Amino acid sequence: MSISTATTESLLIAPQWIGDAVMTEPLLRRLHARGERLTVAALPWVAPVYRAMPQVAEVIEFPFAHGGLQWAGRRAMAQRLRGRFARAYVGPNSLKSALIPWWAGIPLRIGYLGESRWLLLNRRLPNPQRGARPPMVAFYSALSGEAQVQDDRPQLALDATLVQTTLAELGLVGQAYYVFAPGAEYGPAKRWPTAHFAALARQLPLPVVLLGSSKEAAICAEIVAQAGLHGQNPCVDLSGRTRLDQALAVIAGAKAMVSNDSGLMHVAAAFGVPQVAVFGSSSPLHTPPLSARAKVLWLKTDTRYAPALDCAPCFARECPLGHTRCLVDIAPDAVLAQLS
């Protein structure tokens, strides 16, 4: 199916995870460069990521809860979008994510095959098997129909005044604090121990700001208690107390960041913030922080570490062997050395 080049309005149905949202940025940059005007339809908890992409003209927030088809709401949204777009790029692989472009009558609907949605898409990409899936930036960029660029790193940008205003509201000064993002939505097999985060905090010359959702408040509270820092260089716990747009500003203004393999790790990489990313059960070969200023610690590829981690990467939520050596044995001093 061909679409007139004069019709430039395009819609992206965004992924539902922060990290995946960041990794769609190179796709959107390509589409914008070839003259497409971009609107992104996103769930509220990832929408701020797209507002940090200058090439996105409009962000529409989907009023849907997590899970469930919510037929009536999707039909109503499709009706609002009818007649606006020449093409739709469907990021997620789910059936429900392809329903709105189909109901809206968008002429060209592009996405990967999956969840019996053959009829909903009319430009279909074969979905790679899990073990053969390319890195996620390449996976999303392939929706453009163009050849993969070797170095296609996500880039986010925030207005400097907005960052300064947000930091002032939170009592922070740019470049005068470190950020820790100790959570990982997937599970404990991706989380560096809280005791290690606390030990690292005690060795840093500046305050530490802890970021995370309300689900990670208990983890952050543990770090604060174990660090026992007060006075000039305290641990400031902002978990569950910031909106995502505020968290983005806090990361953009940080001296450096330490995190697990998580969505906020990808945010820091896209801002070009110096960072150390600690990997355990997952693999930096598949979802690395794509930044020249990012350093990755993963014992799987550390030739000095013995016995070798034959179990990694297991991609499990919890360590099947019960020891989580892949994370426990990454010492705070090793992370500190990478921050220096």
The rounded distance, in Å, linking the Cα atoms of 27 and 20 is: 12
Percent of the chain residues topping a pLDDT of 90 = 80
Mean pLDDT of 155-162: 96
Most confident of 21-30, 132-141, 308-317: 21-30
| Confidence at residue 134, expressed as pLDDT on a 0 to 100 scale | 82
Q: Which residues pair with 54 in a beta bridge?
A: none
Query: Is the alpha carbon torsion for 38, 39, 40, 45 positive or negative?
Result: positive
Query: What is the average pLDDT score of the chain?
Result: 92
Question: What is the pLDDT, as a whole number, of residue 7?
Answer: 63
Average of pLDDT values for 145-163?
87
* Residues 6 or more apart whose Cβ sits within 8 Å of residue 11: 38, 39, 40, 41, 81, 84, 85, 87, 88, 89, 101, 106
Whether residue 174 is predicted with pLDDT greater than 60 in this model: the reply is yes
Among 150, 98, 86, 106, which Cα is nearest to 124's?
Answer: 98
Task: Kindly report the pTM of this predicted structure.
Answer: 0.93
Confidence of residue 2 (pLDDT cuts 50, 70, 90): very low
Report pLDDT for 5: 39
Predicted confidence at residue 191, as pLDDT, reads 94
Q: What is the pLDDT of residues 67-92, one digit of tens each?
A: 667 888 899 999 999 999 999 999 99
CA 168, CA 198: separation in Å to the nearest integer? 25
**Using one digit for the tens of pLDDT, what is the confidence trace for 112-143?**
998 789 999 999 999 887 767 788 999 999 99
Which tens digits make up the pLDDT trace of 214-269? 999 999 999 999 998 776 789 999 999 999 999 999 999 999 999 999 999 999 99
Cβ–Cβ under 8 Å, residues 11 and 101? yes
Percent share of the chain, pLDDT over 70: 95
Average pLDDT over residues 278-286: 91
- Answer yes or no: is pLDDT of 319 > 70: yes
For the chain, domains (ranges, CATH) are 9-144 (3.40.50.2000), 160-339 (3.40.50.2000)
Give, in degrees to the nearest 5, the angle at Cα 223 between 301 and 249. Answer: 80
Q: What is the pLDDT of residue 185?
A: 77
